């Protein structure tokens, strides 16, 4: 069980860091403080912290200016150094499952497993075409060099890291709590990567992660930073629609009895309704940019902090 009353949920990309501090009291969660701090160019590139001093300066400025006091943190990462794959394995006794998964993990991962810290999340059970019982899992791998950087940077800032996890999994928890009866697709793009996660209730049914095509990379990054022209927004949206259609086609073949009810377009910026409307009209499904923890923000729109809040609450629950 967690041994702290409050904790910081933190995530970063190539242009900003953001964090929340959440406290638990009397069985309820309270948003203590939150904020975002811009990063200078080239501080973070390709998911790696290239300039630890400037990254630390930005972090300490955020902690000071927004009055963060907790010493413990959970960190969310979402870049090309984090790989998630959906896989199915023959059902075996629980005490043998981990060894079997790790022995076969390389078949599903594009990066050598010896270069990654590996973990997995059991998503459920199924039966294959041969009537064999299977265990469905989400494999998660993160480059060790990236994790070592994070540990060193935050150790120097005198913060204790409770956990590091993919922000997409945190967002899945947020959506599952808000909509336990729906089947939905979670669409999230960040530094160099796009995640498509299909969930029914609290069960992840399919995961697809792709690198942002190089020819569209600048347009997507500008869109997420609110700096894109109308043509660049349309270019990015067209690419997202194309990849979303491909992902939904694959999903529908695997799960024909569970059609998608809604697409959650999860973004950093507060107002992406025009882009969400464009995607919705293109795929003939509702597309929403929800604020899963709206009640915690009061009059403030805190949708871009959903992953941070989810990670903090998960840690406080132990």
* pLDDT tens by residue, 40-77: 989 999 889 999 999 999 999 999 999 999 999 999 99
**pLDDT value of position 267:** 67
* pLDDT tens by residue, 8-41: 999 998 889 999 999 998 888 999 999 999 999 8
* pLDDT tens by residue, 256-297: 889 999 998 876 555 566 778 888 888 989 988 877 888 887
pLDDT mean over 194-205: 87
The rounded mean pLDDT for the chain is 88
Give the C-alpha separation, 137 to 101, whole Å.
9
Q: Can you give the pTM of this predicted structure?
A: 0.89
């Amino acid at each position: 069980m967690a041994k702290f009353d409050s904790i910081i949920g933190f995530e970063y990309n190539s242009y900003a860091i953001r964090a929340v501090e959440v406290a638990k009291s009397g069985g309820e969660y309270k948003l203590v403080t939150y904020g975002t701090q811009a990063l200078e160019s080239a501080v973070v590139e390709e998911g790696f912290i290239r300039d630890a001093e400037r990254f630390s300066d930005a972090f300490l400025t955020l902690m000071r200016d927004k009055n963060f006091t907790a010493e413990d943190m959970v960190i969310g990462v979402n870049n090309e150094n984090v790989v998630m794959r959906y896989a199915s394995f023959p059902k075996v006794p629980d005490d043998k499952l981990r060894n079997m998964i790790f022995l076969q993990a390389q078949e599903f991962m594009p990066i050598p497993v010896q270069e990654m810290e590996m973990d997995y999340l059991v998503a459920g059970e199924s039966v294959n075409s041969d009537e064999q019982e299977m265990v469905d899992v989400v494999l998660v791998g993160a480059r060790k060099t990236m994790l070592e950087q994070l540990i060193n940077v935050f150790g120097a800032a005198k913060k204790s890291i409770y956990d590091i996890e993919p922000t997409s999994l945190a967002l899945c928890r947020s959506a599952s709590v808000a909509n336990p009866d729906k089947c939905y697709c979670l669409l999230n793009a960040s530094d160099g990567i796009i995640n498509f996660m299909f969930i029914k209730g609290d069960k992840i049914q399919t995961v697809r992660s792709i690198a942002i095509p190089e020819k569209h990379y600048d347009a997507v990054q500008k869109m997420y930073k609110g700096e894109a022209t109308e043509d660049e927004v349309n270019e990015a949206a067209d690419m997202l629609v194309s990849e979303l259609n491909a992902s939904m086609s694959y999903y529908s073949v695997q799960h024909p009895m569970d059609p998608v009810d809604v697409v959650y377009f999860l973004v950093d910026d507060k107002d992406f309704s025009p882009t969400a409307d464009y995607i919705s009209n293109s795929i003939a499904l509702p597309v929403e940019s929800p604020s899963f923890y709206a009640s915690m923000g009061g009059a403030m729109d805190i949708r871009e902090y959903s992953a941070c809040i989810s990670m903090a609450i998960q840690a406080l629950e132990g």
